[in-house]
Amino acid sequence: MTANYGVLPVRSSFTLSSDADFYQVVTTVDGVSYPVLATLSLKFLNAADAVVATWTATIVAANATFQKDKALVAALLLLLPVQGRMFYEDGAGGPELLLAQGPVRDISP
């Protein structure tokens, strides 16, 4: 018998290029606003499974927006991340949830 408890993260990939800005909007499925104190963050890990960078979204109503200049993307890629993970916290003492995880794809020229 196999049983899963909790929420399994969505498999995803994080495509980055040192010559391009990173822009991504994460919208709630039902259009309901995120809680006022909620946070959504991307944590990038290296081959030793250590977090080398954390990017936090700006949340307005039902949209969480990640926007990073290409200089910050290039600096991150120099740290050789191999995996990205997206975390959510409601800001009201609820659990930190791992929503998505997957490899970092560097498509730099």
Instruction: Say which CATH number the domain at 81 has.
Output: 2.60.40.3020
Task: For residue 8, tell me if it sits in a domain.
Answer: no
In this structure, are residues 66 and 42 in contact, taking their beta carbons and an 8 Å threshold? yes
Number of domains in the chain: 1
Task: For residue 6, tell me if it sits in a domain.
Answer: no
Helix, strand or coil, per DSSP, at residue 105 = strand
Task: For residue 85, tell me if it sits in a domain.
Answer: yes
Torsions phi, psi of 73, nearest 5?
-65, -45
At residue 4, the pLDDT reads 76
Q: Which domain holds residue 75?
A: 14-106
Helix, strand or coil, per DSSP, at residue 78 = helix
At 48-78, the pLDDT tens digits run 999 999 999 999 999 999 999 999 999 999 9
